[in-house]
Amino acid sequence: MTEDNNSSTTEFILIGFTDQPHLKTLLFIVFFAIYLVTMVGNLGLVALIYMERRLHTPMYIFLGNLALMDSCCSCAITPKMLENFFSADKRISFLECMAQFYFLCLAETADCFLLAAMAYDRYVAICSPLQYHIKMSKKLCIQMTTGTYIIANLHSIVQVGLLLGLTFCGSNQINHFFCDNLPLYKLSCVDPYINNLIRLLLAGLIQIVTITVLVVSYFYILFTIFTMKSKGGRSKALSTCSSHFLSVSMFYGSLLFVYVQPHSVNEGDKDKAGAVFYTLIIPLLNPFIYSLRNKEVINAIKRIMNNSFFLK
């Protein structure tokens, strides 16, 4: 809300998806169902990995943290989005907006590094299987996970700081369903050029580092797989990487679609479609991508269900 041209904005209005009442009800039901399945799937996967000692390996520790960050991403966005479907004013306070963006940035940055860590883990497992427990020790796994959260927190703090350095004194309507930096830069009444440049440099550095790890890891993985003499060995190696490769492709594809395309600030509905995919659909799909084709996860679920049955 703004009092005059010199007053600063204390709250924003999230435009959301539509003003059509019948579409609001339908979208609420769809996104509420997505939210429930996302939380049950991701938190269930975290609990499964925590309880099942056989899954206390680097790959599943990274996977558990990925599921935790997907839950964080969904929690940061979906509750407010669901509330706004039936809210008269769709207001969000300035501090709530900054908090929402902070946790979204935290989750997305952590996802980048966790996916890269998982790629490196697969590289070691396939290319150096005899040295796996040496190269991917528990200590290194903890260091990589801790480093991921430190970098993700620092990046989020800087990105929020760039937004706090701006002045919002004009329109307070955000043409989105959550607080994101690009729509907020558009509302700034000062030139956000320097802020946007720093944002791009930091985001670009993170993408370059993590994508480089992914590309190099998969180059050696594929080279090793296609030089294997055993067809069974090639099939097994490919199956261990297929879920991760699918998740990486969807995640980076949607991020590049939203943030790298020219003039993405002005694309409106096109950005919303891409944002729905990487903030809501990918967190929904990830637990199933990593579980349905993973024999160790399926066997762990069966063991827990059998133990629960016998306890009764």
50 occurs within a structural domain: yes
Tens digit of each residue's pLDDT (9 = 90 or more) over 154-212: 999 999 999 999 988 878 899 899 999 888 998 988 889 999 999 989 988 999 999 99
CATH of the domain at 105: 1.20.1070.10
C-alpha dihedral sign at 239, 241, 243, 246: negative
pLDDT, residue 1, reads: 41
295 occurs within a structural domain: no
Burial class (CB in 10 A: 0-12, 13-18, 19+), 9: buried
Task: Tell me which residue of 216, 5, 262, 12 sits closest to 122, measured CA to CA.
Answer: 216
* In contact, 74 and 280? CB cutoff 8 Å: yes
Please list, in sequence order, all residues whose beta carbon lies within 8 angstroms of the beta carbon of residue 249, skipping any fewer than 6 positions away.
none
pLDDT, residue 54, reads: 87
297 occurs within a structural domain: no
Amino acid residing at 300? A
- From the DSSP assignment, how many helices (H) and strands (E) are in the chain? 11, 3
299 occurs within a structural domain: no
Q: How far apart are CA 203 and CA 273, in angstroms?
A: 21
310 occurs within a structural domain: no
3 occurs within a structural domain: no
Q: Tell me which of 303 and 69 has the higher pLDDT.
A: 69
pLDDT of residue 5 exceeding 80: no
pTM of the entire predicted model: 0.90
Beta-sheet pairing, 91-93 with 11-14? antiparallel
- Number of structural domains in the chain: 1
Give the mean pLDDT of 52-61: 91
Domain extent for 195: 11-288
Tens digit of each residue's pLDDT (9 = 90 or more) over 109-143: 999 999 999 999 999 999 999 999 999 998 999 99
215 occurs within a structural domain: yes
Please list, in sequence order, all residues whose beta carbon lies within 8 angstroms of the beta carbon of residue 12, skipping any fewer than 6 positions away.
91, 92, 94, 97, 168, 172, 173, 174, 179, 187
Predicted confidence band at 4 (pLDDT cuts at 50, 70, 90)? very low
Tens digit of each residue's pLDDT (9 = 90 or more) over 24-41: 899 999 999 999 999 999
Q: How far apart are CA 55 and CA 49, in angstroms?
A: 6
Please provide the average confidence, as pLDDT, over all residues in the chain.
87
pLDDT, residue 265, reads: 43
294 occurs within a structural domain: no
- Cα-flanking dihedrals φ and ψ of residue 92, to 5°? -140, 130
pLDDT, residue 227, reads: 87
Dihedral, CA of residue 90, residue 91, residue 96 and residue 99, to nearest 10 = 50
The terminus-to-terminus CA distance of the chain in angstroms comes to: 57
